[in-house]
Every structure is written in structure tokens, then in C-alpha cells.
């Protein structure tokens, strides 16, 4: 359900509903796969209409409302533009909690693979082997891309939220590994 343009929301002609889901806020379909350019365009247009600077001369209530909407638009954009955050949000909307704090059980083969990756990163970092770190970075990026494609199928075609939640937990490990790999590359450059 598309939401009314922000200028109408801000003028009080439409009811204020800060609980509108992020996809509706940007008038996007509720799906994992989305067009980044369309999201960016919607964000710029919406943010331009609700930005607090536009309401600097308005009364306190309008300025507060603009700040709330601007904050909400920023939060929505940051969530939808990142695949992992978008996946978690979709699970939340479908009432399928990732339970990342409580559900740390992972298949042994996955955990072994993660340990092997971490050992390889640590060894390359200790050796100052930037080339090997870059090679691992590219491999991990391809792995992430493949896993996000699978996640797109789980959400958009199969609507298998239980399996999607499991994949999201795995992707959290992989995203953390990628961040550690980026840190190791930066340390080699320093």
C-alpha cells in the first residue's frame, strides 16, 4: 500500500502514521530483491520533502514532525539498502524472528568452514600478504552474492521464512568475516 507523498503528510492533510512499513514508505513492493536505483530515487524525493531544514520557520509541532519523519525515512533507507538488514526486516514483518541472540546452533560443516576462513585471514594478516587477503575478499564477495541470490529465492519465490531465517543467521557470520577481512586488508596497508 503506497503511502501519501510526504508533502501531504507534513501539511496535515493525511493522517500521520510513523509505523508505516519501510517498503510502503518508499512505495516499493515488499520483496528481498529491489532496484537500488528506485530505492535511492524514492529516498531522495521523500527526504527532500520532509527534511527539517524545509520547516525551519514552521511552528514547534511542524519542526518536531519533520524531524520524526526525516529520522524515519533515514532509518528505512539504511535498512532497505543493505541486503542483510533488509532480510532481517522482511523476517520481522513476516513475524519470523531471526533469534540471533538465542539461536546460535549452526551446522558443524558451516562452523568448520568459518573457522578455516578465520585461520586463513589471520595467517595472511600476520604475513602481511595483501594479495592473499584481496583474493579471499573476492572469493567471499562471490560467496555472499550467491547466498543473497538464494535468499532472494527463499523470500520472493518460495516465501520460506523458516529457511530464510537460518540463511540470515549464516549470512551474519559471513558478513562479520568480511568486515574482519576488510580490517586485515587495512592493517596491511597501514
**Is 34 a residue whose pLDDT tops 50?**
yes
CA–CA gap between residue 169 and residue 174 (Å, rounded) = 9
Quick one: average pLDDT of 32-39?
96
pLDDT tens-digit profile of 107-124?
899 999 999 999 999 999
Q: Which of 26, 2, 162, 17 is nearest to 94 (CA)?
A: 162
User: Are the CB atoms for 72 and 78 separated by under 8 Å?
Assistant: no
What percentage of the chain's residues is helix, strand, coil (to nearest 5)?
A: 75, 0, 25
Task: For residue 3, give the DSSP letter.
Answer: P
**Is 29 a residue whose pLDDT tops 60?**
yes
pLDDT tens-digit profile of 77-104?
999 999 999 999 999 999 987 766 565 6
CA distances from 144 to 32, 129, 132, 140, 172 (A): 15, 22, 18, 6, 10
Q: Is the pTM of this model over 0.75?
A: yes
CA distances from 158 to 25, 66, 84, 94 (A): 25, 39, 18, 13
Full set of structural domains in the chain with CATH: 6-81 (1.10.287.110), 108-189 (1.20.1280.20)
Higher pLDDT, 24 or 102: 24
CA–CA gap between residue 119 and residue 111 (Å, rounded) = 12
Amino acid at each position: 500500500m503506497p503511502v501519501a507523498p510526504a508533502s501531504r503528510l507534513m501539511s496535515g492533510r493525511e493522517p500521520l502514521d510513523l509505523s508505516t512499513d519501510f517498503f510502503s514508505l518508499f512505495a516499493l513492493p515488499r520483496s528481498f530483491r529491489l532496484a537500488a536505483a528506485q530505492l535511492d530515487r524514492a529516498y531522495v524525493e521523500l527526504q527532500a520533502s520532509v527534511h527539517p531544514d524545509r520547516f525551519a520557520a514552521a511552528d514547534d509541532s511542524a519542526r518536531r514532525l519533520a524531524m520524526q519523519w526525516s529520522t524515519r525515512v533515514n532509518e528505512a533507507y539504511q535498512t532497505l539498502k543493505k541486503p542483510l538488514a533488509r532480510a532481517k526486516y522482511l523476517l520481522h514483518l513476516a513475524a519470523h524472528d531471526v533469534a540471533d541472540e538465542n539461536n546460535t546452533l549452526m551446522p558443524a560443516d558451516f562452523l568448520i568452514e568459518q573457522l578455516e576462513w578465520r585461520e586463513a585471514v589471520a595467517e595472511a594478516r600476520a604475513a602481511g600478504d595483501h594479495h592473499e587477503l584481496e583474493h579471499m575478499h573476492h572469493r567471499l564477495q562471490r560467496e555472499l552474492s550467491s547466498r543473497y541470490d538464494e535468499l532472494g529465492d527463499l523470500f520472493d519465490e518460495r516465501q520460506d521464512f523458516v529457511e530464510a531465517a537460518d540463511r540470515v543467521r549464516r549470512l551474519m557470520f559471513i558478513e562479520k568475516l568480511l568486515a574482519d577481512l576488510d580490517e586485515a586488508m587495512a592493517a596491511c596497508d597501514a
